[in-house]
Structure 1
Amino acid sequence: MSSRSNISQYQGLLERIVLCFLSTGPACFFLLINGILMFSLRSKPVFRYTCRYILLYNLLVADTAQLIVTQVLFLLAVGRVKITYAVCGTITTMANLTAGISPLTLVIMTLERYVAVCYPLRHASIVNIKNTVVAIIAAWAVSTLNNVTRNLFLIEYPYEKFGKVLMKDYCTNIGWIPDSLCDDYDRAYNAVVFVSASITVISSYTGVVIAAKAASTDKASALKARKTLLLHLVQLFLSLAYTLYYPLLSALAKTVQRIVFVWVQNVIYVLFIVLPRCLTSLIYGLRDQTVRPVLLHYLFCRWKLSVEPATC
């Protein structure tokens, strides 16, 4: 019996190590890509003083922070590490804060492309660095307000125990705030963000299509903007995919065996958490004609490259 118990413990440990490697490997790889792209966007004046690249940098910061925090939560869950409610609340609040930035930033980037195509003469006055910074601050403020509202559901719980009592299960949003009203609030907020962002992207795309038919519109620029807006719509779906992560896990936990659940959890984590946070760097880093050479330059450790300056 003792031998069987030791073998079972060894298999469990080996299983957790393999799962950690399978999730941490892709996460570290894409964190490296994101880090190189973020460094690239701060290395040249063309990026530091161009509005769309400022927005891209903000999106990358939020996605990178989100990926780091969710990876920490995943490793704690796989390792079956129990932490206090206070620590879990801090980590999950940071995860929710950064997760809410992506869809809001994509909306701002969509409006920037719409103004660039439909109002080219007024683009420089509307989309300037000051207004861009204000829009970014507004996005962080909305996401912060959402988190403050979520944490108000904790008023009925004894705060003095949060810093001392260990959680009964691993740290998740569900375990942090065990209140069905909070779940309803999360669904309502995510639905409002998704519908509002979708309407904005679709309306902007329609406006660009209509403007493309005008004789005075740059056809090539309009076509490029249409493709960009479609990519924004895809990214919007992906950025909100994290909202399906915990509901899927809860449903699977009730229907499949533990060994199956553990491996499916890893696949869902990579598809719904890791991959969406990495497509930003792949889409913009390789598609943008200005960013691509700089990204490849630093990616392959070539330290001599120049980029023509540009303006907002």
Structure 2
Amino acid sequence: TLRSKAVFRETSRYILLFNLLLADTLQLVYSQSMFLLSLTKISLLFPVCAALTVLYSLSHRISPVTLVIMCLERYVAVCYPFRHSTIITMRNTRVVICIVWTFSSLNVIIQLIILHKFAYSLLDMPHIKMLNSCGKESVFVDLVSDLYDKVSTYFLFALGGVTVLFTYTGIIVAARSVSTNKASANKARKTLLLHLVQMGLAMSSTIHNSLLIVIFKNLDGVVIVQMQIFLYIFLTILPKCLSCLIYGLRDQTIRPVLMFNLSCQWRHSSLISDVPAKDKA
């Protein structure tokens, strides 16, 4: 959908959304792949699992950073409407996306260096060479790797949460101004609130394994499986789906094109003509 029309390819907020959805999709591909591997009971070599986990870490950090940038874009649009077109340009958007990927890639490089220096010394242990379950808890087996992953993740989400709260507060204050577009400010405020919920759910996913340990100790059998499914859907799947719900259903420009594509393009193409004329420009 986001590649189907010029308005999506030439508007900063939709380019940022594309980047966010790409990162979320990579995370879902990883999660589903690990789930299928666990069902088929296929074991992975430690280096393979480490590479997959580190790549997952790349997309896992891109998502919150992109969310923060999208919130800042809405903040500028509401609080500085006359400067929005000069600040949020296509060139600046591409530069910011490149910076996000570079920053996240540097984090991946640091994780690989730490793994090479510390974790590979444990490869002589039989249960480390072949992993039945691939994930952070299997890869970051040494204290340094685990500590770096937790500190960097918590710092990133804390910084993101503070930024979202700052932009949300700024938009609330701006909404009370006489010169501000009330409808635009209210819509932006609701969008940022949803992003805050989204970031909170994504942050909750970092304690997923800790919750599973508590569940295994205090529950049994069928209840454990049900709780695993619930936590996976609520903490892993739902935060990724919120982006589509926030923009795919609430955005008046995306919605008609999205519904047209979801219906396998059975409907008449006149549905796309519902896109507002000002958004086509």
- Asked if Structure 1 and Structure 2 have the same fold, meaning a TM-score greater than 0.5 normalized by the shorter chain, the answer is yes
- Cα deviation for residue 214 of structure 1 reads 1.9
Tell whether 2:167 aligns with 1:198. no
Letter in 1 for 2:138: G
The AA in structure 2 aligned to 1:203 is F
| Higher RCO structure (Cα 8 Å, ≥6 apart) | 1
Indicate which of 176, 186, 194 corresponds to 2:139.
Answer: 176
Aligned residues: 272
Q: Is 1:153–1:179's contact at 8 Å kept on the other side of the alignment?
A: no
Residue aligning to 1:277 = 240
Q: 1:111 to 1:272 in 2, by over 3 A?
A: same
* Distance in 2, Cα, partners of 1:193 & 1:221: 29
| In structure 2, C-alpha distance between the alignment counterparts of 1:218 and 1:95, rounded to whole Å | 40
Kindly state the Cα deviation for residue 237 of structure 1 after the two structures are TM-superposed. Answer: 1.1
Alignment correspondent of 1:129: 90
Does the Cα contact within 8 Å between 2:34 and 2:134 map onto a contact in 1? yes
* 2:180 matched residue in structure 1: 217
Match of 1:226 among 171, 189, 195: 189
Q: Provide the C-alpha distance between the structure 1 equivalents of 2:74 and 2:142, rounded to a whole number of angstroms.
A: 40
1:264, CA displacement in angstroms?
2.5
String of CA shifts for 1:227-285, please: whole Å, max 9, x gaps: 11111111111222321222222333333335543342222212211121112112210
Moved more, 126-135 or 271-280: 271-280
Greater shift, 251-260 or 198-207, is seen at 251-260
Which residue does 2:114 correspond to in 1? 153
Aligned-partner SS, 1:310: helix
Which of 68, 78, 81 lines up with 1:107 in the alignment? Answer: 68
Amino acid at match of 1:222: A
Q: Write the deviation string for residues 186-241 of structure 1: whole angstroms up to 9, x where unpaired.
A: 22222211221111111111111222222211111111111111111111112223
- The reply on whether 1:310 has 2:279 as its aligned counterpart is yes
Q: Give identity over the alignment, percent.
A: 44
Tell me, yes or no, if structure 1 residue 265 matches structure 2 residue 228.
yes
Matched with 2:204 is 241
Amino acid at match of 2:25: T
Confirm or deny: 8 A CA contact 2:54 2:111 kept in the other structure. Answer: no
Aligned in 2, Cα 1:49/1:303: closer, same or farther, shift over 3 Å? farther
Partners of 1:111 and 1:48 lie apart in 2 by 20
Taking structure 1 as the reference length, what is the TM-score of the superposition? 0.80
Q: Secondary structure at the match of 2:130?
A: coil
Matched-pair contact (CA < 8 Å) for 2:199–2:239: no
Counterpart position of 1:66: 27
Q: Distance in 2 between matches of 1:236 and 1:65?
A: 17
C-alpha offsets along residues 53-102 of structure 1, whole Å, 9 cap, x if unaligned?
A: 11111111111111011111122223332110121112111211111111
Name the residue aligned to 2:214: 251
Q: Does the C-alpha gap of structure 1 residues 234 and 158 become closer, same or farther in structure 2, counting only changes over 3 Å?
A: closer
Distance 1:258 1:100 in 2: 34
Is residue 2:11 matched to residue 1:42? Answer: no
Change (3 A) 1:261 1:79: farther
**What is the CA–CA distance in structure 2 between the aligned matches of 1:279 and 1:202, rounded to whole Å?**
18
Is the 1:99–1:239 contact (alpha carbons within 8 Å) kept by the matching residues of 2?
no
TM-score normalised according to structure 2 size = 0.88
Query: Does 2:77 correspond to 1:116?
Result: yes
2:48 maps to what in 1?
A: 87
Distance 1:97 1:280 in 2: 18
Q: Report SS of the residue matched to 1:100.
A: helix
Which residue is 1:28 aligned to?
none
CA separation of 1:77 and 1:252: change in aligned 2, threshold 3 A: farther
